Amino acid sequence: MINDTRGSVAPKIGALALVLFMSACSSTAANDSKQNRVEPLDPAQAHFGKSYTDWASELWKWFYQMQMPSSGECVNPITDATGASCAFGQDPTSPVFFLTGDTGGTVVRTLCAVPTGKALLFPVVDFAGDNGGVPPADVMTPAQLHDGIQSQVDGVAVTDLTATVDGNPLDNMEQFKVNATEFSYTVPPEPNSYSCGGVQFSGLVDPSYQSGYYVLLPAFSLGAHQIRFSARDMLQPEDLVLDVTYDLSVL
């Protein structure tokens, strides 16, 4: 999920963003034997020419750089209740397919189709912040943005993070931590992800910072597969909990 509630403290587009991504797939896949279990790609190594950190930044760029349909319709994979929009804006030439979570609560997505041969990246929990679309009085320095995003990920208890792939739990969640990292993105002309959130903005955003816990999986075999991940963020109001299920179809 990318919960685009941004702002230094108060929720507004443009300073700090919380993103919690969670998911799961079909019960058929959950019955796969351990010998067929899918193991995450090594977080300490580069994959497809990029590190985990790089791919995490690419996920954020994918979301913020989405060009909405000329009709003005707002397509948002984060708030999509069915998963039918999961492929929107994805680069067909990229070796990695991005999954999102939700803005809070529980959601089950049954209509997400993933092309064969694509690795899958999801963040169990992540954060991003920048000054895109922020009123001048609320603009933060790069150091403030960096430190704010780092404090968010440092405040997450690893014991509050869970993830399963085809019914098999992932271990050692701490290995998937990505510390605050700088990146930039360019928001296309409206309608875009900002205007869909009620903020009139387009153009370059530099710097932006992201952090979180990200998992990169190798390409699944054809058919139904299960991914589920959940998180709790006690730094957010009302102890925010998210739980998202994807019933993925690899075609």
Classified as helix, coil or strand, 195 is helix
**Mind listing the pLDDT tens digit of every residue in the chain (251 residues)?**
343 334 332 222 333 344 433 333 333 444 444 557 889 999 999 999 999 999 999 999 999 999 999 888 999 998 999 999 999 999 999 999 999 988 888 989 999 999 999 999 999 988 999 999 999 999 999 999 999 999 999 999 999 999 999 999 999 999 999 999 999 999 999 999 999 999 999 999 999 999 999 999 999 999 999 999 999 876 665 677 889 889 999 99
Q: Is 2 inside a domain boundary?
A: no
Q: In Å, how far are 51, 63, 183, 234 from 55, measured between CA atoms?
A: 6, 13, 11, 26
Whether residue 175 lies inside any domain: the answer is yes
| 87 lies in some domain | yes
- 5 found inside a domain: no
**Domain annotation covers residue 4:** no
In a domain, residue 7? The reply is: no
220 domain-assigned? yes
Q: Give the pTM.
A: 0.86
Q: Report how far residue 164's alpha carbon sits from residue 229's, in angstroms, rounded to the nearest whole number.
A: 6
Domain hosting 109: range is 17-250
Contact 104/241 with Cβ under 8 angstroms? yes
Nearest CA-CA partner of 102 in 165, 10, 177, 19: 19
Within-domain flag for 8: no
- Please tell me the total count of domains within the chain: 1
